[in-house]
Amino acid sequence: MIDGLAISPPVLGRISIGKVIERNGKRLPEKDDAFTVTSLVQNREGWVHHPLDEALRKGAADRKLRSIPVTVLFADPHLSFRAQYTAFNRVNGRPMCSGDGKTCRRRTPEGLSTLPCPTPEDCDYGEVYGCKPYGRLNVRIEGQEDDLGSFIFRTTGYNSIRTLSARLTYYQALAGEALPCLPLTLKLRAKSTTQSHRSAVYFVDLVVREGMTLEAALQTARQGAQQRKTAGWDQAALDQAAAAGLANGAFEEGEEEGVSVVEEFFSAGDVPDSGATPAVAGSSLAAKLAAKTLSAQAPADGAAPEISAAQTA
């Protein structure tokens, strides 16, 4: 294993809500009210749809994909869904800082450092880089061929992060090591809030497979786990290998993946252009950080793309 390189679960494609489009020479995120399952290949129109996308839409009302039958790969919910406070360099997509509210790993002029993480609201560094919660969920879609492959769903929405974290924690408490065999559905929900001016905002939930009770799903999961164990499947060893791989690097995303993440979820308006020294009122530390780090990490003549926020809640 290469030291310093995070080994994340193998990805066969992406599950997204909306897409990034090009308008007036700029790449902008566009909202949607349904899921799209894409491959890892792009063309001029964007990400190419995965064959499973069409198969799933056939039985959906109005061909709107608002639920996807899935299972998770791991018994540990924190391996299937990984959420941290994260900051990216908006120009080159490089991850700059990632923390859990207690400690963080951060790029500094001296290299990677482990520092306290006060959460974005109370962090001058986070204010400069527009730090926000960022989650990644890896799931298997029913009908895929690769038993160890997965589809990744990314989100910076508080509602999605809270809901997915709670659901997986509760399911693990009930199913234990049988969690990877629990038949689930990734479901798109809508809600209205005062902050959204009562218009619908969408978030993602993880519920028991449609047509099943929780008790029936748990029984199915335990039967499936026993069959796997009889066949030689070692779930504990798989979880251990996944945990070791993820812990092998400071950041899960590299620069190449970071660029697409920034386009879709992190607004350039949250941070100043890279060619200028950021001015954060009442925060000399933020100004110093921006002056040193942004100039060191981003091209002097580069300008962060203007991206409007268009992600799920």
Residue 82 lies in a domain: yes
* pLDDT: which is higher, 209 or 252: 209
Residue 254 lies in a domain: yes
Position 298 scores a pLDDT of: 42
Angle CA(226)–CA(218)–CA(76) in degrees, nearest 5?
A: 75
List beta partners, residue 179. Answer: none
Query: DSSP E strands: which ranges in the chain?
Result: 11-23, 26-43, 46-49, 67-72, 81-88, 95-99, 103-108, 111-116, 132-141, 150-155, 184-192, 200-208
What is the extent of the structural domain holding 168?
11-297
Angle CA(198)–CA(200)–CA(202) in degrees, nearest 5?
A: 140
Residue 106 lies in a domain: yes
How many distinct helices (H) and strands (E) make up the chain?
9, 12
Angle between helices 214-231 and 235-246 (to 10 degrees): 90
Position 285 scores a pLDDT of: 52
pLDDT in tens, 107-156: 999 999 999 999 999 999 998 888 999 999 999 999 999 999 999 999 99
Residue 309 lies in a domain: no
Tell me which residue of 310, 261, 313 sits closest to 29, measured CA to CA. Answer: 310
Yes or no: say if 83 and 71 are a contact pair by the CB < 8 Å rule: no
Residue 178 lies in a domain: yes
The whole-number average pLDDT for the span 23-52 is 82
Mean of pLDDT over the chain: 83
Question: DSSP labels for 232-259?
Answer: T--HHHHHHHHHHHHTTSS-S--HHHHH
Residue 313 lies in a domain: no
Ramachandran assignment for 247, one of left (phi > 0), alpha (psi -120 to 50 degrees), beta (any other): alpha
List beta partners, residue 133. Answer: 85
Residue 221 lies in a domain: yes
Residue 136 lies in a domain: yes
Compute CA 216 distance to the chain's CA centroid, rounded to the nearest angstrom. 30
Domain count within the chain: 1
